[in-house]
Amino acid sequence: MSNDFRSGFIAVLGRPNVGKSTLVNSLIGRKISIISPKPQTTRNQIKGIYTTESEQIIFIDTPGIHKPRHQLGEFMNREAFATLSDADLILYIIDGTAAYGSGEQFVIERLKKTDVPVILTVNKIDLIKDKNRLLENIVRFTKAYEFSEVYYVSALRGDNLEKLRGALVKRMPTGPKYYPGDTYSDRPESFIIAEIIREKALTLTKEEVPHSLAVVTESIGPAADNPHLLEIRATVYVERPSQKKIIIGAGGKMLKQIGTAARKEIVMLFGQKIYLDLWVKVESDWRNKKRELRRLGYFLEN
């Protein structure tokens, strides 16, 4: 490794549904974080690692910052803000089609408490219809906070991502390679599997289910009668019996669709045949129970 190798950590921050996970996936060039049209899809910090011969950037994808209504929401906000002090750079992502409001002001007030440089990244420019209104909106952001730079991108379409990535590399300090070159995420396979299943459930189910849904990978291992077949058992948790009925669907149709969609993606992850055994359980009000939140993978302070 050369003496001018650059490496560093970038916290990706923003309100729900502004495209943080899509941007991280696009910058890295592979899927690290799950995405869905439902807000607050990302619940944990997830590190996505971009490595070349001359640099390594660790992107820290964070939950969308929002007004919490339960213990899970408070955990998600803490996860997002906890990244700021250890980052070399902050990417503050905003939706270019949305107006500046109290939620953005809340984030900016928190940014004022850190000395880490912040790049304002305006996403979804492919959806902009009124450029004058966009510029007026950005003026409000830049008056509220002194950003190091401003970039306009489309994470979905790829507009200006090379330019943004180049700017990020230039801002990284010289440093070590923190992860092996073939590592793309800091999360274990069990977490990634659970997230894939949750993504498919979010995509296929109705509005009343998403925020009440969690997934735990119970076991991963070769089948007893076929070492070339990988058996995965996972449980989908919901808060109400009515939600369980939605996830299972008439005659088990919805659960089968979720399993089929998830299995296709997990097969690509492992490169072998998969048997996915999905179960659905009700855990009443789990989002407000610290014991259940810990068990389901959301590690809270005592």
Cβ neighbors of 263 (< 8 A, separation 6 or more) are 274, 276
Query: The domain 6-171 belongs to what CATH superfamily?
Result: P-loop containing nucleotide triphosphate hydrolases (3.40.50.300)
Looking at per-residue pLDDT, the higher value among 211 and 139 belongs to 139
Looking at per-residue pLDDT, the higher value among 152 and 202 belongs to 152
User: Among 38-52, 153-167, 198-212, 263-277, whose mean pLDDT is lowest?
Assistant: 38-52
Report, as an integer, the average pLDDT of 63-79: 58
Cβ distance 11 to 46 under 8 Å? no
Which pLDDT band holds residue 41 (cuts at 50, 70, 90)?
very low
Report, as an integer, the average pLDDT of 92-117: 90
For 289, half-sphere exposure in the C-beta direction (CA atoms, 13 angstrom radius) is: 10
User: Among 37-41, 88-92, 96-100, 192-196, whose mean pLDDT is lowest?
Assistant: 37-41
Give pLDDT, residue 119.
97
Cβ distance 172 to 55 under 8 Å? yes
Give pLDDT, residue 40.
46
Q: What does DSSP say about strands 118-123 and 89-95: parallel, antiparallel, or unpaired?
A: parallel
Give pLDDT, residue 302.
41
- Angstrom CA distances, 7 to 87, 109, 179, 198, 239, stand at 11, 28, 10, 32, 42
Cβ neighbors of 194 (< 8 A, separation 6 or more) are 215, 216, 217, 234, 297
Q: Where in the sequence of the chain do the CATH 3.40.50.300 domains occur? A: 6-171
Rg (CA), the chain: 20
- Is pLDDT of 73 > 60? no
- Is pLDDT of 69 > 90? no
| Overall pTM > 0.85 | no
Task: Give dist(CA 96, CA 133) in Å, integer.
Answer: 10
Residue pointed to by tokens 């076991």: 219
Report, as an integer, the average pLDDT of 102-111: 88
Give pLDDT, residue 247.
92
Task: Give dist(CA 181, CA 40) in Å, integer.
Answer: 30
- Is pLDDT of 226 > 80? yes
- CA torsion through residues 219, 220, 224, 225, sign: positive
Q: Is 235 helix (H, G, I), strand (E, B) or coil?
A: strand
- Is pLDDT of 47 > 90? no
- Fold category of 189-295 in CATH: GMP Synthetase; Chain A, domain 3 (3.30.300)
Mean pLDDT, the chain, integer: 84
Q: Where in the sequence of the chain do the CATH 3.30.300.20 domains occur? A: 189-295
Task: Give dist(CA 214, CA 195) in Å, integer.
Answer: 9
